[in-house]
Amino acid sequence: MIKTKLLDPDILMIEDILADQTLGPQLRDPDRIPAIKTYLRGEGPDREPDFRTPRVDVSITGWNPRYDERLPRPADEPRKHVS
């Protein structure tokens, strides 16, 4: 099977979330970024997805810190002080 952009679950997920901002609230964590795996609806593994869009099942496979300490932060978001 040839994979095209028309059936790419990552693109479908982004389009669905842009169309309905209430989908995928897990993606808006202020301190971390989820690592995700997307599948066309009903094509993924037997486990229950973490959230669904109209066309895609999404599983969160892990979490990464929002900022890498080696990179500068945006000017409007100062670093948190850790004591």
Q: Does residue 59 lie in a domain region?
A: yes
Element (H, E) at 38: strand 32-40
Residues counted in the chain: 83
- Residue-range definition of the domain harbouring residue 50: 5-22+29-65
Q: Has residue 43 been placed in a domain?
A: yes
Handedness of CA 68, 65, 18, 3 (dihedral sign): positive
Please tell me the predicted confidence (pLDDT) of residue 9: 92
Integer angstrom CA distances of residue 47 from 54, 60, 61, 71, 76: 18, 11, 12, 36, 39
Kindly state whether residue 82 falls inside one of the protein's structural domains.
Answer: no
Q: Is residue 18 part of a domain?
A: yes
Residue 77 is assigned to a structural domain of this protein? no
74 belongs to a structural domain: no
Q: What is the pLDDT of residue 46?
A: 87
Task: Indicate the number of domains in the chain.
Answer: 1
Strands 51-52 and 32-40 turn out to be unpaired
In a domain, residue 45? The reply is yes
Mean pLDDT by 10 residues, the chain (83 residues): 72 92 85 90 89 93 79 62 56
